[in-house]
Chains A and B, each alone.
Chain A
Amino acid sequence: MFKLEFWALLVGGIGSGFIYAMIAIGYTMVYGVLRLINFAHSEIFMAGGFASFFLLKATIGSTTPTGIMSVLYIILGILGGGIVGALLAMTLERVAYRPLRNRNAPKLAYLISAIGASYFLFNMAGKEFGRYNLSMVSPYVNHTVFTIYGAPVQMYYIIIFIAALIMLVTLDQLVAKTKLGRSIRSVAQDSETASLMGVDIDKTIALTFILGGFMGGAAGFLFGLNVGVVYTMGFTPAIKAFTAAVLGGIGNLRGAVIGGLILGVVESFSVAFVNGAYIDVVAFGILVLVLLFRPTGILGERIGRAA
C-alpha cells in the first residue's frame, strides 16, 4: 500500500515537475539576459494553452484521436501552443519592455509594466474566450500504460516525460552549442562587450523571449491536456515555476529543470503531510526559505554560463 502511494505520488510529482521546469526555463532565460523577472510569463503559458485548445478543436474536433493521429495530436498541440507562446513573448518584449530598456528605466518600472501586461492579457483572454474552464481532456490521455508496484502510470505522464525531455535537451544543446546560443550567453555575461563584438542585443533579447515563450506555451498545452484551460490558469503554475527557477539557481538552465523536478516531487509528497487546501503554501514556503537562506539556489546563479 505504502509502495503504491509512493510511486503514484512520485510519477505525479515528476509530471508536474517537468511542467514547472518548462515554465521556469522562460523565467531563467529572461532573467539571464535582462536581470528581470518576466511577470507576464504566466500569461504566455495561458496563451499557449488556449492556442492549442482552439487549434485542436478546429483540426481534430471532439473525436478521440487514435493510432498515429494521437501522436500528431500531441505534436500539433505542442507546436501550436509553443508558437503562439513565442509570438506573444516576442510582442510582449517589444511593447512592454523595449521602450523601458531604451530609456534605461529602473527595475521597478519593468515590474509594474510586466504586471500590467499580465493583467491585460489574462483578462483579455477571459473576455474573448469566456471565463469557464474549457476541458481538452481526451480519454486516451488517462489510459494506464503500465504500473509500477501497482501504481498506474497514465498516458498523460508518458507524453509529458517524452515531450519535456526532448524539448529541454534540444534547448540545452541549442544554447550550449549553436551560434544563437552563444549570442544569448554573451549578452547574459556582459551585454555591452557583446554589443561591441557585433552581437545584436535587441535581436538576442527577442530570441531569448521567443525560446522561453515557446517552452512556456508548450507547457501550457501539456498542462491543459490534463486539467483543461481557463483564463486564470497561469497564475499558480507560474509562481511555482518561478520558485523552481530560484530553487535551481536563477539564470541557470539546468538548474531550472532540477528545481522544477524537485519542487514537483516535494509538492506531490507533501500531500501526505499537508491538508490538500494548503498545497500551494508548500511551494511558496520553499520559495521564501530558498530566497532567505540560499538565494543563489542549488546549482548557483550562473548567468552567462547557461549550461
Chain B
Amino acid sequence: MNIFLKSKILKQLVATLMISFLVCVVTGPSGSPTAPASGFTGSFNNKSSFFGIFSAPRWTLFVFLGLLVYVSFRIKLKYSENVSSFTDKVLFIPRKISSNQSTRRVTIGALVVFSLILPKIVTDHFWQTVLVSQIAVYVLLALGLNVVTGFAGLLDLGFVAFYAVGAYATAWATGSLPLPALFGIHIDPFFAIPVAIGFAMIAGIILGIPTLRLRGDYLAIVTLGFGEIITLFANNLYGITGGALGSNQIPHFAINIGPVKYAWGLAPVPYYYLTLVFVVLFIIIFSSLEHSRVGRSWTAIREDEVAAESVGINPLKYKVMAFAIGAASAGFAGVITAAQSNFINPASFTLYVSINVLVLVIFGGMGSIAGVVFGAVFIQAVSMYLIHTPPSGYQSQDLYIYIGALLVVMMIFRPGGLIPAKRRGRSTVHAKVQVTEGS
C-alpha cells in the first residue's frame, strides 16, 4: 500500500483515470430526479462510436483518450526537459507580435479590417445576431470587468449590476418603463447612450464608495450580494421597473437630425457596426488609461495596497474610479442589448452573466486587453455554437459546468490567462516573494 501511494507514476495514472471518468460524466447524458443514477450509468455504459470505426461503452473511450494524453505527456517529458516549453512558445506568439511596433500595427490593422468585413463573411442570421448580442456585448462587458479585476485587482462578482443599470436607464430614458422619463421627454435610444453610461458610472461610484473600503475577499462576497439585490429590486419594483416582465417596447436606434436620417431597425448588422465603433473607442480609452498615471496607480494598488498608500496613492479614490470606468462600458453594453432586442427583463441580468464575464477575463488574461477581447470572442463563440448545434445530451445550462471547471483549471495551470498582461507581478501569477502570512 505504501509503495502504491509513493509511486509517482501510479499516482499520476490514478489521477488520469479520475479525470477521464469526470470528463466522461460531465459530457454524458443528464440524469433525472426519479432515476438519479441514470446520468452516471448512461455516461459510462452508453455505446459511443469512435469516429465510426468501432463502437464501445463511453467510459472505455474516455479512459483510452486520457491514457493517450498521459502517455504523450510522459514521452514529451522524456525528450524535452519541460512539457510547457512548446505550449509556452505558442502562447508567446501574441507577446512577440505586440512587442514589435510594425507587426503590432499590421496585426491591429488586419483585425480591424477583418471585423469590418465580418458581417459579409458571417451571413447566417443566427450568427449575425450572436455577433452583436452575445459577442460584441460580452466583449464590452469583459473590457469593463478587465478594468476592475485586471487593472485594479478587485474581484467584482456583481458586475452585471452595471449592465442592468445601463439597460434599464435606456428603457427609462426612452419612456418604456412604468417610471415616467424625466420631464416626460422620451428620447431615442441613440441619445440615451450618454444617459445610460452616466447612470452606470454613477452606480459604480455609489456601489464603490462603501464597498471598496473592504478587503478583497469581502469585496467579492458583497458585490455578489449587490448583483443579486439588483435583480431582486428589478423583479419586485413593479411601478418602476415593470417587475418580472420588464419592458418590451424599447425602440430601436434611430437618428433624425436635419439631413442625417438613419434607422437601425431589426437587422443585426447595423448594430454590429455601431458596437464595433464603441468597442474600438473603449479599447483606445482603456489602453491609454492603462499606461497613464491612473493605470500605474491601479497596478500599484493591485500589487500592494499598503505600499501604494505609503507613496501617496489614495486607494479608495482609484478603486472607485476603476469601478466607475469599468461600469461605463457595461452601461453601453446595456444600451445595445436594450435597443437591439427591444426587450429587457430581470432574467437577463443574473449572477450567471457576472460569472460568464469573469471567465472571459480570466481565460483571456486579466489585465491584458488583447487577451480579454480574444477570450470574449472565443468563449462566446464556442458557447453559442453549443447552443446552435448542441451535442447529444447537452443542455444549455450545462455551459456553466464547463465555465466553472475552466476557472479552476486556469487558476491552477495558467493564472495569467492565455495572453497574459505584460505588467503583472505576483497578484495572480507565481509569487516571487515567499509570503508567509496566512498560508
Is the A/B pair a real complex?
yes
**In the complex, which residues of chain B have a beta carbon less than 8 angstroms from the beta carbon of A210?**
none
Q: Is the CB of A129 within 8 A of B33?
A: yes
Q: Is the CB of B401 within 8 A of A106?
A: no
Majority secondary structure of chain B interface residues (helix, strand, loop or mixed): helix
Bound together, the chains give a CA A49 to CA B213 distance in angstroms of 36
Contact with A along B227-249 (1 / 0, CB 8 A): 01100100110000000000000
Q: Is the CB of B217 within 8 A of A111?
A: yes
Q: Is the CB of A108 within 8 A of B428?
A: yes
A-B contact pairs, 17 of them (CB 8 A): A37-B218, A37-B221, A39-B220, A104-B435, A112-B410, A115-B355, A117-B404, A120-B400, A120-B408, A123-B404, A131-B397, A191-B438, A235-B351, A239-B221, A278-B232, A284-B225, A288-B225
Q: Is the CB of A130 within 8 A of B33?
A: yes
Q: Is A150 an interface residue (CB 8 A)?
A: no
Q: Is A211 an interface residue (CB 8 A)?
A: no
Q: Is the CB of B216 within 8 A of A111?
A: yes
- Which of B155, B217, B412, B430 has a CB less than 8 Å from the CB of A99? B412
**In the complex, which residues of chain A have a beta carbon less than 8 angstroms from the beta carbon of B359?**
116
Q: Is the CB of B439 within 8 A of A123?
A: no
Return the 10 tightest CB-CB contacts between A and B, nearest first. Answer: A116-B407, A119-B404, A120-B404, A35-B438, A113-B411, A116-B408, A104-B431, A130-B33, A123-B400, A128-B39
Least CB distance, A253 to chain B, in whole angstroms: 19
Least CB distance, A114 to chain B, in whole angstroms: 9
Contact with A along B393-436 (1 / 0, CB 8 A): 00101101101111111111001000000000011101100111
Q: Is B80 an interface residue (CB 8 A)?
A: no
Contact with B along A284-296 (1 / 0, CB 8 A): 1001100110010
**In the complex, which residues of chain A have a beta carbon less than 8 angstroms from the beta carbon of B232?**
277-278, 280-281
Please list the residues of chain A having a beta carbon within 8 angstroms of any beta carbon in chain B: 34-37, 39, 54, 95-96, 99-101, 103-113, 115-121, 123-124, 126-132, 134, 191-192, 235, 239, 242, 246, 275, 277-278, 280-281, 284, 287-288, 291-292, 295
Q: Is B211 an interface residue (CB 8 A)?
A: yes
Least CB distance, B391 to chain A, in whole angstroms: 14
**In the complex, which residues of chain A have a beta carbon less than 8 angstroms from the beta carbon of B225?**
239, 284, 287-288
Least CB distance, A77 to chain B, in whole angstroms: 16
Bound together, the chains give a CA A303 to CA B9 distance in angstroms of 39
A119 in contact with B400 given A108-B153, A130-B31, A192-B436 (CB within 8 Å): yes
**In the complex, which residues of chain A have a beta carbon less than 8 angstroms from the beta carbon of B358?**
112, 115
Q: Is B258 an interface residue (CB 8 A)?
A: no
Q: Is B36 an interface residue (CB 8 A)?
A: yes
**A-B contacts besides A104-B431, A120-B405, 6 pairs, CB < 8 Å:** A112-B358, A115-B358, A127-B401, A287-B221, A288-B222, A291-B222
Closest-by-CB residue of B relative to A238 is B221
Q: Is B279 an interface residue (CB 8 A)?
A: no
- Which of A54, A113, A123 has a CB less than 8 Å from the CB of B397? A123
Q: Is the CB of A113 within 8 A of B30?
A: no
Identify which of residues 341-384 in chain B touch chain A, using a CB-to-CB cut-off of 8 Å: 351, 355, 358-359, 362
Bound together, the chains give a CA A121 to CA B362 distance in angstroms of 19
- Which of A34, A111, A126, A129 has a CB less than 8 Å from the CB of B439? A34
Least CB distance, B408 to chain A, in whole angstroms: 4
**In the complex, which residues of chain B have a beta carbon less than 8 angstroms from the beta carbon of A105?**
411, 415, 428, 430-431
Q: Is B52 an interface residue (CB 8 A)?
A: no
Most buried by A among B224, B404, B407, B439: B439
Q: Is B157 an interface residue (CB 8 A)?
A: yes
Q: Is the CB of B408 within 8 A of A111?
A: no
**In the complex, which residues of chain B have a beta carbon less than 8 angstroms from the beta carbon of A130?**
30-33
Least CB distance, B216 to chain A, in whole angstroms: 6
Q: Is B106 an interface residue (CB 8 A)?
A: no
Bound together, the chains give a CA A126 to CA B404 distance in angstroms of 13
**In the complex, which residues of chain B have a beta carbon less than 8 angstroms from the beta carbon of A118?**
404
Q: Is the CB of B431 within 8 A of A106?
A: yes
Closest-by-CB residue of A relative to B39 is A128
Count of chain B residues with a beta carbon within 8 Å of a chain A beta carbon: 61
Bound together, the chains give a CA A105 to CA B25 distance in angstroms of 30
Q: Is the CB of B155 within 8 A of A127?
A: no
Bound together, the chains give a CA A96 to CA B355 distance in angstroms of 17
Q: Is the CB of B397 within 8 A of A116?
A: no
**In the complex, which residues of chain B have a beta carbon less than 8 angstroms from the beta carbon of A284?**
225, 228-229
Least CB distance, B174 to chain A, in whole angstroms: 27
Q: Is B181 an interface residue (CB 8 A)?
A: no
- Which of B25, B31, B407, B431 has a CB less than 8 Å from the CB of A113? B407
Most buried by A among B36, B40, B427: B36
Q: Is B312 an interface residue (CB 8 A)?
A: no
Closest-by-CB residue of B relative to A242 is B221
Bound together, the chains give a CA A275 to CA B233 distance in angstroms of 12
Q: Is the CB of A281 within 8 A of B229?
A: yes
- Which of A116, A131, A132 has a CB less than 8 Å from the CB of B404? A116
Bound together, the chains give a CA A228 to CA B359 distance in angstroms of 31
Bound together, the chains give a CA A94 to CA B157 distance in angstroms of 24
Q: Is the CB of B408 within 8 A of A108?
A: no
Bound together, the chains give a CA A100 to CA B426 distance in angstroms of 13
Q: Is the CB of B408 within 8 A of A106?
A: no
Q: Is B210 an interface residue (CB 8 A)?
A: yes
**In the complex, which residues of chain B have a beta carbon less than 8 angstroms from the beta carbon of A113?**
407-408, 411-412
Bound together, the chains give a CA A37 to CA B223 distance in angstroms of 14
Q: Is the CB of A111 within 8 A of B31?
A: no
Bound together, the chains give a CA A142 to CA B290 distance in angstroms of 60
**In the complex, which residues of chain A have a beta carbon less than 8 angstroms from the beta carbon of B412?**
96, 99-100, 113
Q: Is the CB of B26 within 8 A of A124?
A: yes
Bound together, the chains give a CA A123 to CA B351 distance in angstroms of 13
- Which of A35, A100, A129, A132 has a CB less than 8 Å from the CB of B411? A100
Most buried by A among B31, B221, B410, B438: B221
Q: Is the CB of B217 within 8 A of A106?
A: no
Least CB distance, B103 to chain A, in whole angstroms: 32
Closest-by-CB residue of A relative to B403 is A119
**In the complex, which residues of chain B have a beta carbon less than 8 angstroms from the beta carbon of A109?**
411, 415, 428
Contact with A along B1-38 (1 / 0, CB 8 A): 00000000000000000000000011000111100100
Least CB distance, B19 to chain A, in whole angstroms: 10
- Which of B30, B351, B426, B438 has a CB less than 8 Å from the CB of A128? B30
A292 in contact with B404 given A105-B411, A109-B415, A127-B398 (CB within 8 Å): no
Q: Is the CB of B405 within 8 A of A101?
A: no
Bound together, the chains give a CA A109 to CA B362 distance in angstroms of 10
A127 in contact with B39 given A113-B407, A121-B404 (CB within 8 Å): yes
